[in-house]
Structure 1
Amino acid sequence: MTDNASSPRSRTPLTVLGAGAMGSALVRAWLAAGHPVTVWNRTPARAEALAAEGAAVARSAAEAVAANRLVIVCLLDDASVGSALETADLTGRDIVDLTTGTPAEGRTRAAWAEACGARFLDGGIMAVPPMIGSPDSGAYVFYSGSSALFEEHRDTLAVPAGTTYVGTDPGFAALHDVALLSAMSGMFAGVFHAFALVRHEDIAPKDFAPLLEGWLKAMAGLVHNAADQLESGDFHRNVVSNAAMQATGNGTLLRTAEEQGVSAELLTPYMVLMDRLVAAGRGDEDTTGMVDLLLKAPGTN
């Protein structure tokens, strides 16, 4: 958050399209900081609920866009964004799209907005609604696209959550967002498998959770070693447990799952890829080499 978020200079008026859980949280954060906010939602009742807190409610998306130069979009998906903005005059507008999407959607939407006479930023929100507007929550948003737009509105954008600008390529915000969410998904796959293993034993989940958290935190630092190997192309650098050793150890994990009556379906895709690395004669490397096995040849599905 920025210290001068509530100063008169930073109280930029803005429009928010979308009053779902995240959109409403964003609106409330900007209102609390003294920003005049115009809001529109496809279901009017949700927008009306924000009127009591000081927001101006527009009757249409086009009217909301016309109200302010800075327009924040937080809708269900990219198709919803296109539908909402199709009748709006975007000339001279600064569009910040916080709708969750793919890198390709971000790039396509940026080109479309620019053709309509607008500047464009795509955003990826790394937070859930209760974290928005709380300086100590750790919430932040990836932004990519127009650097001039970002610099001009940096203070305003920093009101609801921290800001991290990742480049002029409009697809980079979504790419960073989805990459981190994908890593989270893999982590939770392991977490749920671990809980399943102890589920029917005399081991309280609340007692097991701190051990699990501590172990994951201890292992998290290995991402830096992986990054170093990927940048250098040397997968023999700083190897602690090579792929062949880990592939052999996977047998114990699978046998334990069988003994505990637990499906290994959350683990086996990872293990199959590791076996491929070893079968390719790369068993003495770190498992970071699996990254390249995931990359499809251009033109393949």
Structure 2
Amino acid sequence: MTDNLVDPRDSRTPLTLLGTGAMGTALARAWLAAGHPVTVWNRTPARAEPLGAEGATVAPDAAGAVAASRLVVVCLLDDASVGEALEHADLTGRDLVNLTTGTPAQGRARAAWAEARGARFLDGGVMAVPPMIGAPESGAYVFYSGSPGAFEEHADTLAVPADTRYVGADPGFAALHDVALLSAMSGMFAGVLHAFALIRREDIAPKDFAPLLVSWLGAMAPAAQTAAEQLESGDFATGVVSNLAMQVAGNATLLATAEEQGVSAELLTPYAALLERWLGEGHGDEDTTGAVDLLLRADRS
């Protein structure tokens, strides 16, 4: 299979997509709808056939798919799958964009691996679910990090399925941004579960309680901006409304209420314990933000 040729009158870049699961299929359909020539490959060939019917070229193997286009996008199960799929592919002169979910360390290692094989590398963190891809008003976007040149060259093409946010030349930064946001989401979901558990046995309809919960969480979200400013300045005491001592005292009420309601406090106790430790180090008049330093392991510089 030879490289797709680009008509000089046509700026729609040809690309290859490895992986046609739910996310990969959504990405491919967005590029096809925008007129990009797309070559696809999937380990289970039958999963790529519907895209073939929609205009994509279905490659019989990953190496052939990579040979078809200079821009190669990978959206597979995990980092090991990426290595296996590309094991026999010639990456010389290719721009490899990895949208497979992974860790920052995996992104950096995969970048070195790709560069040693002659490719420029971008790692990506997809902040969307498949139905949001290709829908301009959905709010979907993808973090990218790695080769500045590769991003600059392909920015328009990469922006077709979802908005793009380039976060730096360090190839681990896309995954780091992705996981940091998902970790915050995980903590929020933990709080939502605990809140619903508290009312579960009472004559309070969850559907009536939910709007209050959504409104409250929305009102609290800007606190992240305050925390960022405090971390930048190192000043955790100026303009504090509810200091650490007050919040630790308040946590006692939260835990006591959980006990009264017969609800496990396992989703609250780690955070409560962290704040108690920070209070014990003499930060009672400060905001809670400084407790972030308790989470930094001494064995990680």
| TM range, smaller chain | over 0.9
Query: Does 1:108 pair with 2:109?
Result: yes
Aligned to 1:220: 221
CA distance in 1, matches of 2:46, 2:279: 58
Name the stretch that deviates more: 269-278 or 236-245: 236-245
The answer to whether the 8 Å contact 1:13/1:36 transfers is yes
Q: Which runs of 4+ in 1 moved over 2 A?
A: none
1: CA distance between counterparts of 2:238 and 2:53? Answer: 60
8 A Cα contact 1:93 1:119, kept in partner? yes
1:159 corresponds to 2:164: no
Aligned-residue offset at 1:235? 1.1
CA distance in structure 2 between the aligned counterparts of 1:205 and 1:97, rounded to whole angstroms? 40
Structure 2: segments with no counterpart, 5+ residues: 1-8
Distance 1:197 1:142 in 2: 37
How far the C-alpha of 1:10 sits from its partner, in A, is 3.5
SS of 1:282's equivalent in the other structure is coil
Hey, what does 1:231 align to over in structure 2? 232
1:112 Cα shift?
A: 0.8
Distance 2:229 2:276 in 1: 23
1:80 corresponding residue in structure 2: 81
1:206 equivalenced with 2:207 (yes/no): yes
Q: C-alpha offsets along residues 7-58 of structure 1, whole Å, 9 cap, x if unaligned? A: x643111000001110010001101111110000111110112111111111
What secondary structure does 1:241 align onto? coil
Counterpart residue identity of residue 198, structure 2: L
Q: Determine the C-alpha separation between the residues in 1 that align with 2:236 and 2:84.
A: 47
Whole-angstrom distance in 1 between the partners of 2:300 and 2:228: 26
> What's the secondary structure of 1:92's corresponding residue?
coil
Cα deviation, 1:58-91, whole Å, max 9, x if unaligned, reads 1110000000000000000101000000100000
Partner Cα separation in structure 1 for residue 240 and residue 176 of structure 2:
28
What does the per-residue CA deviation read over 1:193-249, in whole Å, with 9 as the maximum and x for residues that have no partner?
001111111111111111001000101011111011101111112211111110011
Corresponding position of 2:5: none
Residues of 2 paired with 1:299 and 1:145: CA distance?
23
Aligned residue runs from structure 1 range 43-54, under 5 A: 43-54=44-55
Partner of 1:246: 247
8 Å CA contact 1:10, 1:156 repeated in 2:
no
- Which residue of structure 1 aligns with residue 276 of structure 2? 275
The aligned amino acid for 1:105 is Q
CA distance in 2, matches of 1:281, 1:33: 59
- 1:179 corresponds in structure 2 to 180
RMSD over aligned CA atoms reads: 1.0
Query: 1:69 aligned to 2:62?
Result: no
The yes-or-no answer on 1:141 pairing with 2:142 is yes
Kept in 2: contact 1:225–1:238 (CA 8 A): no
1:103 aligned partner, one-letter code: P
Unpaired stretches in structure 1, ≥5 consecutive residues:
1-7
**1:258-299: CA deviations, max 9, x gaps?**
111111111110001001001111111110011101000135
Secondary structure of the residue aligned to 1:120 is: strand
- Give the whole-Å Cα distance in 1 for the aligned partners of 2:94 and 2:169: 18
In structure 2, what is the Cα distance between the partners aligned to 1:126 and 1:248?
Answer: 36
Q: Distance in 2 between matches of 1:10 and 1:221?
A: 41
1:56 paired residue number: 57
1:89-100 equivalent positions in 2, closer than 5 A: 89-100=90-101
Alpha carbons 1:10, 1:155 under 8 Å: kept: no
* Counterpart code for 2:173: F
Cα distance in 2, alignment partners of residues 193 and 263 from structure 1: 8
Q: Which residue of 2 aligns with 1:119?
A: 120
Aligned to 2:6: none
C-alpha contact (below 8 Å) 1:15/1:70 kept by paired residues: yes
